[in-house]
Structure 1
Amino acid sequence: MKILMIIGNEPNQRALANKIHAEFPLSAIITESRKSKRKITLRKVFEKIIERLFLSSIDKAWFGLHTYYKSKYPDFPDVPNIDVENINKDPAYQFAKKIHPDLIIVSGTRLVKNPMLQLPAGNGIMNIHTGLSPYIKGGPNCTNWCLATNQPEYIGNTIMWIDQGIDSGKIIASDTVDISGAEDLMDIHIRVMDHAHALCINAIKAINARQNKEGVDQNSIAKGKTYYTKEWGLRQKISLVKNTKRILEKNNPNNFTNSGLEIVTINPNK
C-alpha cells in the first residue's frame, strides 16, 4: 500500500511518521511549515506577560512534548519529501499527484481544501484528530479544551475520513484516553499523542484488512461541539490551569470516568 503523509513540520508529527513507517513503509511525506501572521497588539502583549508569569505550565507542557519526541525521533523517515508553507497550494498538490497513493494521512496541518481534497487515493484521505469526535472538535488543542471546560471524560482521539468540515468526517476509529489523575499537563499531552499514533496505526491495519472502510457518520452518534482557535484566550487558559490543578490534585481515576460515551472500535488483528 502506497502511503502519502501530509503533516505539520513538528516533532510529534515526525514521531508519527516514523512509527507508521516502521510498520507500513511510507512512499512520501509533505510537511507544512506555517509562518506566523499574527498582529502584535498591546492586549496580546499584556496577555503574553500574564501567561508567562502565571500560566507558564501550558507552554511548558507543549514544548516539553516536542522535546520528548525530538529526542526520540530526530529525523523524518528517509523517503521523498517536500516542505511547504501551505499544503493547499500548487507545489504540494503537484508533488502529491506524482505519488499516486493508495492512502493519504493528514495530521497537524491547516484545514485541507480543494484541490488537495480531490487527490485520487485508492482508499481515501485519513485525518488524525487528537480529540474525541463528535463530542469535542476544533482547535487549537482539544485536550486543553476538555480540561478548560471541565470535561476530562472527553479526552480522546479519532481517526476519520476527511471531508470539507472541521473534524467532521466519517469515523474509522475512536477511543478515550485513560488518565489516572497522577499526571501533570505534559504527561497528559504525551499520553494523548502516543494514543493517537497507536490508534492511527491500528486504523491503517484495519483499512488494509478491509475493515470499517466506509466509516461511521458522526451525526448517528451525537451532535457534539466545535471549538475555535479564535475563542481560545486568556480566560480559557486560566480555566485550563485551575481545572487541571484541581482535577489532578484529587488523584482519583473516577474523576475521568467516560462511561456512556459511544466510540467506534476496530480489530486491527482480524
Structure 2
Amino acid sequence: MKIIALIGDQPNHWGLISKVSQIATISSVVTVSKKNKNKPKSYSKITQSICALPLSLAWRKMQRSFYITDEFKGKVLKVSTNDINSDEVLDFAVNENPDLVIVSGTNLLGAKLIKELSKTSKIMNLHTGISPYVKGGPNCTNWCLSNRNFHLIGNTVMWLDDGIDTGNLIVTEKCPLTGNESLTELHIKVMNHAHDIYIKAINAYVKNQPLQNISQNKISIGHLYLTKDWNKKEIFKSLYNFYFYFSKKNVNSDNDDVLFVNIDTDNNQKT
C-alpha cells in the first residue's frame, strides 16, 4: 500500500509522521509552510499577542516536545510549498498514485486536488477538535476553554472533503484529562491523543479493516470557529476559565447531547 502525507511544517506534524512510519511505510511527504506576509502589526495586534502569551508559550513548549532529525525528514520529504493547491503539488501527488493520503496542518485542500486524488486513493484528515461540535481554528482546544466546554476537548479523524472540518467521520474521541494539567500539559496531551487516534485509523485502513463513514449532519450542525474571531475577549475568557474552572469535576462532566464515533464498532456511543 502506498501512502503519502500532506502536512504542515511544524514539529507536531513531523512528530505525527514519525509515529505513523512505525506502523506503515510513508512513500513521500509534502510540507506546507505558512506564507510570510511581512505586514507590520498594529497596536491592537501587539496587545492581543501580549494577552495571549500564556497560550503561545504553552503551544511553543508543546512543539518542542516533538524532535525529529533532519536525517528522518530527508528520507521522505519530497516537496515543500506555500500552497497545497499549487500545480506542483497536484502533479506530484497525482503522479505518486497513492492508495491513501493522510492530511494534517495544511491550508484547505481545493476541490480540484481532492477530485484528482480521489480517483485512486482515500483521503484522511486529522482535526484537533471534536467535529461537528468544534470545527475551524486557530486552536479548538483554546476555543473549548473560552466557551468552558471542557467536555469537548478532543480530536477527530475524518474522510476529507473540500469544507472546513466537514468530512464524514471515522472516529471522534474526547482527550483523557485529569483536570490538573498545566496549559502546556493540556496541549501536549491533546496533540498526542490526536496522533494516537490517527494512527489507529491508518492502521485499520492498512489492514483492510472497516472504518466508519458517518455524515456530520446526522449528528449535529455544530459550530465553525474562525481565526478572525479569535480576539482579546476570547483570549481573556479562555485563560480565566482555565485558571478558575478547569478541574477534575468539570473536565469529566458528561453531556448526553454529545455523540462520539468509536473506531472499534459500527455503533455510535453517547457519553
Contiguous gaps of at least 5 residues in structure 1: none
Alignment of 1:77-226 (within 5 A): 77=73, 78-121=75-118, 122-213=120-211, 215-226=213-224
Counterpart contact for 1:88–1:114, Cα < 8 Å: no
| 89 and 59 in structure 1: CA distance in 2 versus 1, 3 angstrom threshold | same
Q: Partner residue of 2:69?
A: 74
Q: So what's the TM-score if we normalise by structure 2?
A: 0.90
Counterpart contact for 1:206–1:267, Cα < 8 Å: no
Aligned length: 261
**In the aligned structure 1, how far is the partner of 2:239 from the partner of 2:28?**
39
Alignment of 1:3-42 (within 5 A): 3-37=3-37, 39-42=39-42
Where 1:112 maps in the other structure, the secondary structure is coil
Deviation at 1:209, TM superposition (A): 3.6
Whichever residue aligns with residue 147 of structure 1, its letter is L
Deviation at 1:94, TM superposition (A): 1.3
Contiguous gaps of at least 5 residues in structure 2: 266-271
**In the aligned structure 1, how far is the partner of 2:121 from the partner of 2:31?**
21
The RMSD of aligned alpha carbons is 1.9
Deviation at 1:2, TM superposition (A): 0.7
**In the aligned structure 2, how far is the partner of 1:253 from the partner of 1:214?**
31
**In the aligned structure 2, how far is the partner of 1:252 from the partner of 1:213?**
32
Counterpart contact for 2:12–2:191, Cα < 8 Å: yes
Residues 163-193 of structure 1: per-residue CA shift (max 9 Å, x gap)? 1111000001110112111111111111011
**In the aligned structure 2, how far is the partner of 1:176 from the partner of 1:133?**
11
Counterpart contact for 1:158–1:196, Cα < 8 Å: yes
**In the aligned structure 1, how far is the partner of 2:57 from the partner of 2:122?**
36
Moved more, 22-31 or 204-213: 204-213
Deviation at 1:4, TM superposition (A): 0.6
Deviation at 1:259, TM superposition (A): 4.1
2:60 aligned with 1:59: no
For residue 256 of structure 1, the aligned residue among 252, 255, 264 is 252
**In the aligned structure 1, how far is the partner of 2:162 from the partner of 2:14?**
25
Where 2:31 maps in the other structure, the secondary structure is strand
**In the aligned structure 2, how far is the partner of 1:255 from the partner of 1:173?**
20
**In the aligned structure 2, how far is the partner of 1:212 from the partner of 1:239?**
41
For residue 232 of structure 1, the aligned residue among 230, 251, 267 is 230
**In the aligned structure 1, how far is the partner of 2:250 from the partner of 2:233?**
27
Q: So what's the TM-score if we normalise by structure 1?
A: 0.90
Q: Partner residue of 2:268?
A: none
| 229 and 50 in structure 1: CA distance in 2 versus 1, 3 angstrom threshold | closer
Deviation at 1:214, TM superposition (A): 5.7
Whichever residue aligns with residue 172 of structure 1, its letter is I
Seq. identity, %: 36
